[in-house]
A and B are shown apart, each in its own frame.
Chain A
């Protein structure tokens, strides 16, 4: 059984650029959530995808967008990068999107984004 994998692990961008982060969910999990974690903070919910459709969104602007593919892998895209977008971006998968089991998330190790 493979866990959640994310790529790239680290990347540096400049303000105004665009970035795509990728995630492969744990085997058998059909729901993917993305979180942003700034230094010293808890993870902040960006959005969730269930069976290729957005299933919930946090307080993030539209320049944060995502996709989920038929194999349940996912992408997070951020346009017009700002300095405050520098953070650890975490992908998590879960077995389903409803019921309390949906809160039992399996996280990847994250993608560390630095915006200069």
Chain B
């Protein structure tokens, strides 16, 4: 069964303190990986698709990377508005690309 594990479960940073979130997965034949951001009480917001190992994507202070076993979401000089839950997802097994989500990392950035 496909499994997505995110760590840490929660992370508190000071404004400007860079860090990384981890997403590890067990799937047979990776066919891409997705990152989403979710604010409290809202639906997730799509951030990135990483198509294959070695690929990197950037958006403002966020940079996502992908290896054959895991993905990292690097946050450089975060601001309080980056506070959210970050969700990682991989396509379900069986050929579809419907995302299977991890439990997420709750990030709080203090001013």
Contacts and interface: CB of A to CB of B under 8 A. Distances in A.
B97 A109 contact: no
Interface of A: 4, 33, 35, 40-45, 48, 55-56, 90, 92, 97-110
A103 B95 CA distance: 12
Interface string B7-27: 000000000000000000000
A90 B44 contact: yes
B110 interface: no
Contacts of A43: 44, 87, 101
Contacts, number: 69
B72 interface: no
A109 B31 contact: no
B37 to A, nearest CB: 11
Interface string B22-48: 000000000110101000011111100
Contact of A100 (B41, B51, B100, B104): B51
Contacts of B42: 109-110
Kindly name the residue among A99, A104, A109 whose own CB sees the greatest number of chain B CB atoms within 10 A: A104
